[in-house]
Structure 1
Amino acid sequence: MKPFPHAIIAVTLLAAGAWGGWAIQSATGKTSTEERSGKPETRSTRHPARPSAPITDSSGSRHTLAALLSFQAAGGRAGDLHDGLGRMDVPALQSLILEQQTALAAEEEGDIAAHRELLNAALAELWSRSGTAAMEWAAGLPEKDQRGTITMGLLDAALADDPVSALPWMKKYQGEFGKGDTESRFFGTAMRASAARSADDVIRIFGEFQGANYANPLHNAGYPEDFDFAKLHAALSKKTDLSDAISAWASRDPEAAWAAITKRDSDAMTGAFQVSTPFTAYLLGVIATDGEISGIQTIMERLSKLPEGQRTIHLHGIDPLGTLSTEGAAALTTKLPGSEKVAYAASVVRASGDSPRSHAVLDTLPRADLIATLQQIRTNERSSPFAPTLTPDKIAALDTAMRDRYQFTAEEMAAVTKIAPQRSDFEPAEIYAPPGK
């Protein structure tokens, strides 16, 4: 296929909808089943109508990106790509999917992103139209690579829409192609889709994945108004990372969420990588509703009522991903007692280095605490698995920057550097990022 300029491709994919169906019909000579019969097409997972083979149109034209681009060049109207795909019948969608998969397999550069976007949109449309009949069609494709690519794309759509129906097909796919890097991808997709239904669905889906566990699988999930966060927390808080769920809970019912996270004996979980402490997640939820400074004030008042040792542990890494703004980090620092102030400041400097965020925090410290903070970052004490290991070279550069910024005397600099830089044996855990991030 002759490659088209990238700018035209980008414009086409953003402006392909209201005209997209017309373009596809012009290229194929087909109209949808609904337009021909006057009856809407229906989706059924119980009695699917499975075609015996991929069907092409009688005119011999191909459902290619070229056809869409040609129509756009002729002055097609702006719209949404999915509107155009929605006008195609199932056999035409199948033919389009096969052609785009073939084009992707053959191309090394040029139209790859455009072909992929068109393929994914067509797969999502086919699933929404045919349900598990689409899976049956993909499973019957003769070429293994083609079958794998198309089935995986259908599973992305299916798990996001109906994880219960999709799970048997996911297991079938993994039986043939292995789990590989699809395990975390499918897990997060299914968990988020279940959250849109109920806590019971999330708990059930978690059990179906038999030990799969990745950071924050409910990242960016949406929850219905009657979602039972307490039930979810009781069932899964020691089994998986519920950071985003706790944030959502705190934004809706801060009292109940606080009671639940402080009731736990330990933040340790079995077989799970946690993206933040429950207290960090709670803080982010309160901030979402009350604003950053007010949210910080709320959690500091709550944390002040905890036993000192427990409070220090949570404050030591309360913002491990650097989510708070520069102003928020400085505001938090001012509300901490001395030893906790130093621990938090050190965690910020470890994560942010010589930066405005570190400066804002360090600027709030009394001189003695400033020196103690720079001493602490030279030890192997880590605030969280996200904080980087500071090499001696990085520490030396930081020493120089801090000396110049705060005009340390020779005696003060000697007090800082009397602590020899130490390497930590703890390696940062791998951070899982969900699809789409």
Structure 2
Amino acid sequence: MELFVQPGYDTLDTGDGGITWETNPAKHREIAKKLAPAFSTKNFRAKEATVQKHVDLFIKRLIEVGAQQRGVDLRLWTEWLALDLAADMTYSQDMGHVRNAKSSEFLDTALKLNFFGAVTNIAAKFRFLTPFIYLCIPPSVWLSMPRLIKMNSEDVKIRISRRGKTEHLDYFEQLAPADKPEPKDKKQIFHLQNIAGQLLLAGWQPMSHQSYSVICQLLKNPRVYATLVEEVRSTFKDSNEISTDTTATLKYLQACINESLRMHPDTVDGLPRISPGAVVDGKFIPKGVICQHSHFAAARSPRFFAEPLEFHPERWLAPDHPCFDQKFKDDNLKASMPFNQGTRACTGSSIALAVLRLFLAKVLMHFDLEAVPGQDEVLFDEHYKYLAFWERPPFRVRFKRVDDTSTPEHGKLNHV
């Protein structure tokens, strides 16, 4: 099998690609092999208590503030939860967004760099445009990049100093284990900072994007929402029964997540690769040609999906499931590849799905959700914006507590 390597368009020209932007296949394999144990099923089981802790705190805080007349901004709260969880899972950093109901300097700075990432990406493809990027990006945004790098650098140095002393297992344990010599070489530390920043982004953005998008779609589709609520609440007696293992049996829940991933993939670029001179699907692609595949277009194409622009979790169900709809029997589900495939496929895909299942099941166990009346409907094609990552519009939602025993006052949230 021929190897199509990355052209390096997405790099920031730092001299170190970490894992995400590493264009050398041999180096990428070496880093991926080192990180692989962190994403194993056994390793994730040791981290699940951390996920439960953050989701339970989210539930607790929304019991306190979610039912008010004006609701809460779903965009902000899912952003806060996702970054809290990503930072804790990456290098045991307590960001405290959900607890404080307030964005940190790190989050505010990172969001400012969305436009910066898009412009520098374009300049990397068309070098003659490089001098003009200074005209497109405000000075405040330029100054944000060094601040973000400095904050990430400080967090990594703190984590290195805490080797063997963290409260729980995190991804960084694979990069700088306590039984190995402490990293002190500047080049090595810089490499660790790049990988940590990329793991943080990979854990934060997809989680915030999908948790927001699934809830938006549920509230736009009352029948789907009612079906999913029935599945969750008929399966569990209380929130304490909900885990990544027990939610794996919820077929309709997984179908809703799969459908959201199809309609709202976390990346929309073509993930370009350089051809080594190889035959693909019966056609020869000359050496040096940059080729790419639009996951976004394929997942929304009527060639592969019936009613492709509509949210229908039923298409992901087995034919013997009571909610399966025959009109989706010819859908080519393989056309949706939200986690990519091959050597560059997302190694954390199973963890991402497990966390989303846990989050949605607990939210629907505790709350009846409703969109606050009077606001504009969130339309994906009009209101979402993709630059370096997704920008989602504000969307106010009421989290009305379900009148049952699955609440902190009844001792059912054990992780807060």
By the TM > 0.5 criterion, same fold?
Answer: no
Question: Radius of gyration: which is bigger?
Answer: 1
Q: Which structure is higher in RCO with an 8 Å CA cutoff and minimum separation 6?
A: 2
Give the TM-score, by structure 1 length: 0.20
TM-score, normalization by structure 2 = 0.21
Structure with higher strand content = 2
Q: Comparing both structures, which one devotes a greater share of its residues to helix? A: 1
